[in-house]
């Protein structure tokens, strides 16, 4: 009674019950074993053969119960990360706040990763006693356990190992807290996850408000899961849904870098459009992260919506996507308008574009992305846009060989689809990028002959406009980059050039970052 009273004081009575272990056989759960990935089977078998507990866990079990073939397989085990790493030839310990092991099979783009996590202790605001007797918990971990949560109940540390029932209790949703043993073909369920899966119910384990306080990012994950499962008919359990909006301010205490990463997950799991609609339905269109607020606000714009739909399509087809492409699409209106304003002041086009990009980064991105690869890729996509206007001299040949050409071309193709640039321009580059060296020479020669009467110029970008709208005069500036004019004599190219990657509108491999 005293322990219960103290727990109520510290955690508001929020500590989730560990639940009663239930082992459900194949005659009841109905999982088709042929849907289980062979590599996941190998990981489970290797761990069990070494004397550890091991199960397929999380969303993969949920999908198997629904008769779906999971895209990813996670494994939970009683082995520590170091013990897991020692059992596999290609295994890598990653993470700091949450240490896990990636077991890698295959090479290059065909490789597959099985994520292996150790059973975690349930560290809510009253959980110190729950693992104090755990022999696998080190003295240093026990000594620092009192700092595992902050005053609000937010979990700060998450690398204290525990038994399976506690690992299940610390997971978010009942349908993600089931464990499947593919060798015995049983599902271990502590929180009626099978029942909720059959009822298509998304329910938080324990008291929802307290669980959101432990880790406010669960609010974002709840939105992501609900959007993903909405197509399958899943709906929020009433209490889990009701606690979302009141706890939204808790996200203000989450590091910006973590929010940035969670925002990208919302947009890159194949349900970006559904997620944005879910945010609006839940009254959470604003307040999660400033850049996400902007994305929701602009989602109805033709260009941004086309980029979101393209991303969803690629994920659905199992193709790589890059955050740089999607964010460049969302922020293009700011870059385009800033660039046009500078061109109207007679600034040189390329420095003007660079200034506009810098201004957008300062206002919208800041230092959250680290301005590393993501920022560099966005800049390249934007900086290549005016170069597509110049199709004479050596520019087309050098441009098509740039590492980010495919992403930049796909970006320009989307602009053409919404009427921002001429479709003829996009079609020309489509043909040029796929052509042989000889055909490329002929395409440039033919265009040069057509342009004999005037010099090709870089045009300021124009916002999308309905086809029936009369087109006004566009500001023009001289072509940049030190290339000769369209009338200058062209030297015959001698060296062979490789055609670019796959067809337009497919972003090729350079979308993966």
Q: Which of 79, 212, 96, 82 is nearest to 159 (CA)?
A: 96
Q: Which of 37, 74, 207, 377 is catalytic?
A: 74
Q: Rounded to 5 degrees, what are φ and ψ at 206?
A: 80, -160
Contact (CB, 8 A) for 214 and 149: yes
Cα separation, 486 vs 474, in Å, equals 20
Cα separation, 202 vs 222, in Å, equals 9
Cα separation, 15 vs 11, in Å, equals 7
Tokens at 341, concatenated: 């304003």
Cα separation, 330 vs 345, in Å, equals 25
* DSSP per position, 326-373: HHHHHHHHHHHHHHHHHHHTT--HHHHHHHHHHHHIIIIITTTTTTSH
Q: Which of 141, 139, 140, 145 is nearest to 124 (CA)?
A: 145
Angle between helices 405-417 and 323-344 (to 10 degrees): 70
CA 148 to each of CA 55, 138, 437: distance values in angstroms, whole numbers, following the listed order: 27, 14, 62
CA 218 to each of CA 6, 174, 267: distance values in angstroms, whole numbers, following the listed order: 25, 13, 16
Q: Which of 37, 167, 172, 196 is catalytic?
A: 172
Cα separation, 396 vs 102, in Å, equals 42
Q: Which of 72, 337, 417, 487 is catalytic?
A: 72
189 is catalytic: no
312 is catalytic: no
Cα separation, 239 vs 201, in Å, equals 12
422 is catalytic: no
Tell me the three state secondary structure of residue 57. strand
Contact (CB, 8 A) for 413 and 396: no
Active site amino acids: 72, 74, 172
């Amino acid at each position: 009674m005293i322990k219960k009273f103290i727990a109520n004081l510290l955690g508001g009575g929020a500590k989730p019950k560990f639940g009663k272990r239930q082992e459900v056989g194949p005659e009841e759960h109905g999982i088709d074993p042929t849907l289980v990935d062979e590599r996941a089977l190998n990981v489970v078998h290797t761990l069990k053969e070494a004397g550890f507990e091991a199960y397929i866990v999380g969303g993969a079990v949920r999908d198997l119960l629904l008769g779906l073939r999971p895209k990813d397989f996670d494994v939970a085990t009683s082995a520590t990360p170091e013990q897991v790493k020692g059992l596999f030839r290609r295994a890598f310990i990653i993470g700091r706040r949450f240490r896990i092991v990636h077991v890698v099979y295959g090479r290059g783009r065909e490789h597959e990763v099985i994520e292996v996590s150790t059973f975690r202790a349930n560290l809510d605001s009253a959980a110190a006693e729950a693992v104090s007797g755990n022999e696998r918990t080190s003295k240093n971990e026990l000594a620092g356990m009192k700092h595992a949560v902050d005053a609000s109940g937010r979990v700060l540390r998450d690398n204290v190992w525990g038994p399976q029932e506690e690992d299940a209790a610390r997971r978010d949703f009942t349908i993600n807290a089931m464990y499947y043993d593919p060798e015995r073909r049983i599902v271990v369920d502590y929180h009626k996850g099978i029942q909720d899966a059959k009822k298509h119910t998304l329910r938080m384990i324990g008291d929802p408000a307290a669980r959101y306080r432990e880790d406010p990012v669960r609010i974002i994950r709840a939105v992501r899961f609900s959007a993903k499962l909405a197509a399958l008919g899943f709906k929020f359990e009433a209490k889990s849904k009701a606690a979302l909006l009141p706890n939204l301010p808790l996200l203000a205490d989450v590091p910006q870098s973590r929010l940035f990463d969670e925002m990208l997950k919302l947009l890159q799991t194949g349900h970006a459009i559904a997620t944005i609609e879910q945010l609006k339905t839940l009254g959470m269109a604003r307040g999660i992260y400033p850049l996400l607020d902007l994305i929701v606000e602009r989602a109805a714009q033709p260009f941004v919506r086309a980029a979101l739909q393209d991303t969803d399509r690629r994920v659905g087809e199992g193709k790589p996507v890059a955050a740089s492409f999607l964010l460049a699409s969302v922020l293009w209106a700011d870059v385009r308008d800033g660039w046009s304003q500078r061109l109207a002041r007679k600034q040189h086009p390329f420095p003007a574009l660079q200034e506009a990009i810098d201004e957008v980064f300062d206002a919208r991105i800041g230092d959250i992305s680290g301005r590393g690869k993501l920022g560099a890729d966005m800049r390249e996509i934007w900086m290549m846009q005016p170069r597509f206007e110049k199709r004479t001299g050596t520019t087309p040949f050098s441009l098509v060989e740039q590492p980010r050409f495919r992403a930049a071309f796909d970006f320009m193709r989307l602009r053409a689809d919404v009427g921002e640039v001429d479709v003829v321009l996009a079609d020309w580059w489509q043909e040029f990028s796929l052509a042989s060296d000889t055909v490329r020479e002929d395409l440039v020669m033919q265009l040069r002959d057509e342009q004999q009467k005037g010099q090709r110029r870089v045009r300021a970008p124009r916002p999308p406009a309905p086809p029936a709208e009369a087109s006004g005069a566009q500001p023009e500036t001289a072509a940049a980059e030190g290339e000769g004019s369209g009338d200058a004599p062209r030297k015959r190219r001698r060296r062979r050039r490789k055609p670019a990657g796959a067809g337009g509108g497919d972003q090729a491999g350079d979308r993966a970052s």
